[in-house]
């Protein structure tokens, strides 16, 4: 199967390497330094001994490149632009799996794909979520940093695409399941990100330390607000189930630095808007108290600004 991994960050690289290792024909799309590194030495997977994986990487998709499916792993704020780029480059509409953190991803992707010329864009978009952790040690060098799960939704217009990706990911060694209620899984993942990412990003701690105070308490306060918003939107989770999800992921990815911490430390924009910002907007609409979330957003914005000023 020909797979385009659009967004060669840590997660895209981990998926791309594993799929290529399992025999899929993988093309990665990433930044110039990354593409140059992969051209020079392949994609390196770091463990006790480094392993090189042969695959193609491009800065932009050469027009006319076709694929059986696309794994979209760009940051949430780049989804629309990625949609335009994909619809412009691919010769015909192709299933696109959106694996981002946060809320409001599909409308952005559909809008981008439509602007790029796919009139029936909604027929080609499939949402998924995952908790697979990874770290980009250097351009073209990725380190798996724990275990996680992939959950794929189904688009009734292209149900077989989900089965194909599920089989490919399973053969590549990932725990993967398919659901007919991806909206609930997206909320479950948002709860996890809302609790883990701002606390780890603010305090510079790996995910595993979230089980310790005072971070545990901060994560629980964020989770409590996110749970209220989810319920107001029609997605009820038992608090114990949600806590289990948050601290279960924190333990399974203990040595991992959350994507928000990586972004803050590298002076990049974080996904705070699509995670905490989206929750805050909904919470306000429902008249819910959102003090912990508001504080977390301010702290992350401050971190982003500090890093940018120090550059």
Residues labelled catalytic: 189
State how far the Cα of 112 lies from the Cα of 258, in Å rounded to an integer: 27
Nearer residue to ligand KPL within complex by CB, 69 or 261: 261
Are 50 and 81 spatial neighbours (Cβ–Cβ below 8 Å)? no
Give the one residue of 7, 116, 128, 133 binding ligand KPL; rule: CB under 6 A: 133
For position 197 contacting ligand KPL by CB under 6 A, the verdict is yes
Q: How far is the CB of 65 from ligand KPL (least distance, A)?
A: 28
Residue among 125, 88, 94 nearest 107 (CA): 125
Q: Least CB distance from residue 214 to ligand KPL, whole Å?
A: 19
Q: How far apart are CA 260 and CA 269, in angstroms?
A: 9
Instruction: Name the residue nearer to ligand KPL (CB basis): 75 or 87.
Output: 75
Binding-site residue total for ligand KPL (CB under 6 A)?
A: 13
Contact status: 73 vs ligand KPL (CB under 6 A): no
Comparing CA positions, the residue from 213, 207, 195 lying closest to residue 254 is 207
Nearest-10 crossing angle of helices 182-203, 239-252: 60
Q: Does 76 bind ligand KPL (CB under 6 A)?
A: no
Q: What would the x/- binding string for ligand KPL be over residues 98 to 117, using CB under 6 A?
A: ---x----------------
66: its two tokens: 């076709």
CA distance 67 to 262: 30
The single residue among 26, 161, 196, 229 that binds ligand KPL, judged by CB under 6 A, is 196
Asked whether position 253 contacts ligand KPL by CB under 6 A, the answer is: yes
Q: Are 246 and 223 in contact (CB under 8 A)?
A: yes
Asked if residue 193 binds ligand KPL (CB under 6 A), the reply is: yes
296 is a contact residue toward ligand KPL (CB under 6 A):
no
Least distance (Å) from ligand KPL to the CB of residue 259?
3
Instruction: Work out which of 76, 131, 270, 276 binds ligand KPL, going by CB under 6 A.
Output: 131
Check binding of 258 to ligand KPL (CB under 6 A). Answer: yes
- Contact between 27 and 5 under an 8 Å Cβ cutoff? The reply is yes
CB of 258 to ligand KPL, least distance (A): 4
Closer CB to ligand KPL, residue 143 or residue 193? 193
Name the one range near ligand KPL by CB under 6 A: 135-143, 173-181, 214-222, 252-260: 252-260
Does 210 bind ligand KPL (CB under 6 A)? Our answer is no
Tokens 């990412």 correspond to what residue? Answer: 197
Q: Please report how close the Cβ of residue 89 comes to ligand KPL at its closest, in angstroms.
A: 27
The binding site for ligand KPL (CB under 6 A) comprises: 101, 131, 133, 192-193, 196-197, 207, 249, 253, 256, 258-259
């Amino acid at each position: 199967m020909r797979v385009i991994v659009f967004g060669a960050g840590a997660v895209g690289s981990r998926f791309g390497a594993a799929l290529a290792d399992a025999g899929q024909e993988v093309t990665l799309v990433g930044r110039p330094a990354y593409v140059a590194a992969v051209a020079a030495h392949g994609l390196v997977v770091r463990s006790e001994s480094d392993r090189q994986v042969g695959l193609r990487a491009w800065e932009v998709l050469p027009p006319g490149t076709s694929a059986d499916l696309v794994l979209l792993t760009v940051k949430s704020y780049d989804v629309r632009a990625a949609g335009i780029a994909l619809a412009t480059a691919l010769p015909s509409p192709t299933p696109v799996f959106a694996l981002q953190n946060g809320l409001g991803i599909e409308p952005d992707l559909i809008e981008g794909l439509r602007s790029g010329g796919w009139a029936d864009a909604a027929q080609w978009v499939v949402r998924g979520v995952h908790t697979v952790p990874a770290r980009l040690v250097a351009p073209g060098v990725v380190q798996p940093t724990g275990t996680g799960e992939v959950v794929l939704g189904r688009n009734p217009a292209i149900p077989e695409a989900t089965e194909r990706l599920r089989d490919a990911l399973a053969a590549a060694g990932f725990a993967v399941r398919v659901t007919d209620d991806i909206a609930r899984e997206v909320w479950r993942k948002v709860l996890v990100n809302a609790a883990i990412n701002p606390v780890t990003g603010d305090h510079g701690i790996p995910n595993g330390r979230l089980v310790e105070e005072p971070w545990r308490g901060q994560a629980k306060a964020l989770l409590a607000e996110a749970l209220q918003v989810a319920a107001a939107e029609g997605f009820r989770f038992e608090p114990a189930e949600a806590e289990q999800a948050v601290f279960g992921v924190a333990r399974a990815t203990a040595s991992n630095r959350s994507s928000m911490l990586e972004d803050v430390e590298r002076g990049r924009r974080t996904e705070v808007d699509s995670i905490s910002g989206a929750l805050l907007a909904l919470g306000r609409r429902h008249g819910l108290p959102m003090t912990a979330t508001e504080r977390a957003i301010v702290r992350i914005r401050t971190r982003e600004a500090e890093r940018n000023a120090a550059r």
